[in-house]
A and B are shown apart, each in its own frame.
Chain A
Amino acid sequence: MIFDTMMVIALCILMLAILANLYRVVKGPSGADRVQALDTIGINLIASIGVFSVLLHTHAFFDLILLIGILSFIGTVAFARFIERGVVIERKR
């Protein structure tokens, strides 16, 4: 019982962290700030899925953790390429 309460408190703290990052996404002066805040939101989402699967006594979400990590990495790389050079996939011409 006390363990579940601790897990719910951890989830609430993670939600607060996501809200703080969301403030940076909305307010951030430059594009790089927003991209970095979105990447951190992805990492917080991974952490909250981990806490959630402990809370639900299941290991069905563990694949999802790795998948969100991969997708967040690829999305951040694509955004970084777009900010830096204007094209995402470069080609010779």
Chain B
Amino acid sequence: MKPNNVILKTVTRVAVVIIFTFSIYLFLNGHHQPGGGFIGGLSTAAAIVLLYLSFGIEKVRENIRIDFKKLAAIGVLIAVGTGMAGAVFGKPFLFQIFGHVDLPIFGDTELASAMIFDTGVALAVIGTAVVIILGISEDR
């Protein structure tokens, strides 16, 4: 008999949008307030796990075409790459710069290269968490 979980699927459709928005907020907030790459990546992984829970593994796999092992590797590469960029320009390894940029909508914004490092951390955390949970779920 086909299981009927329409309530779970409908709630998931609403809640996943809120969780993704919240995780992006946490990720961008990390410079001045609690948050950052690690917790942003973990809440994104929580949203992806919620999708896996309510829609099954095949349906998510054919809609989110991301290999999460490769995603973790790309995240580590980005994080190491920002460190190497510091080393290339004659500064110490993992040297970070920041500057003020005039963006079109936001106005005078302070952009730091620690943000790119944080992106790498977030991608590595998302990849690792989803790969671990999918690996555990294969129980036989």
Residues of chain A whose beta carbon lies under 8 Å from any beta carbon of chain B:
60, 63-64, 66-67, 70-71, 73-74, 77-78, 81, 85, 87-92
A residues in contact with B15, CB < 8 Å: 70, 73
Measured CB to CB, the closest approach of chain B to A24, in angstroms, equals 24
Nearest chain B residue, comparing its CB with the CB of A85: B3
A66 touches B22 (CB 8 A): yes
* Cross-chain pair count, CB within 8 angstroms: 48
**When chains A and B are docked, how far (Å) is the Cα of A91 from the Cα of B139?**
11
Q: Does chain A have a CB within 8 A of B96?
A: no
A67 touches B50 (CB 8 A): no
Q: How many residues of B contact A (CB 8 A)?
A: 25
Measured CB to CB, the closest approach of chain A to B33, in angstroms, equals 7
Within 8 A of A (CB), among B1-55: 3, 8, 15, 19, 22, 26, 29, 33-35, 39, 43, 46, 49-50, 52-54
A residues in contact with B137, CB < 8 Å: 87-89
**When chains A and B are docked, how far (Å) is the Cα of A89 from the Cα of B53?**
5
Per DSSP, chain B at the interface is helix
Which one of A60, A63, A77 lies within 8 Å of B53 (CB-CB)? A77
A90 touches B43 (CB 8 A): no
B residues in contact with A88, CB < 8 Å: 53, 137
Nearest chain B residue, comparing its CB with the CB of A73: B15
B residues in contact with A74, CB < 8 Å: 46, 49-50, 53
Q: Does chain A have a CB within 8 A of B108?
A: no
B139 touches A90 (CB 8 A): no
Nearest chain A residue, comparing its CB with the CB of B133: A89
**When chains A and B are docked, how far (Å) is the Cα of A85 from the Cα of B58?**
18
Enumerate 11 A-B pairs (CB-CB under 8 Å) in ascending A order: A60-B33, A60-B34, A63-B35, A70-B15, A77-B53, A81-B53, A87-B139, A89-B53, A89-B133, A91-B58, A92-B58
A residues in contact with B90, CB < 8 Å: none
Which one of B8, B56, B133 lies within 8 Å of A91 (CB-CB)? B56
B57 touches A90 (CB 8 A): yes
Measured CB to CB, the closest approach of chain B to A61, in angstroms, equals 8
Which one of A64, A73, A89 lies within 8 Å of B57 (CB-CB)? A89
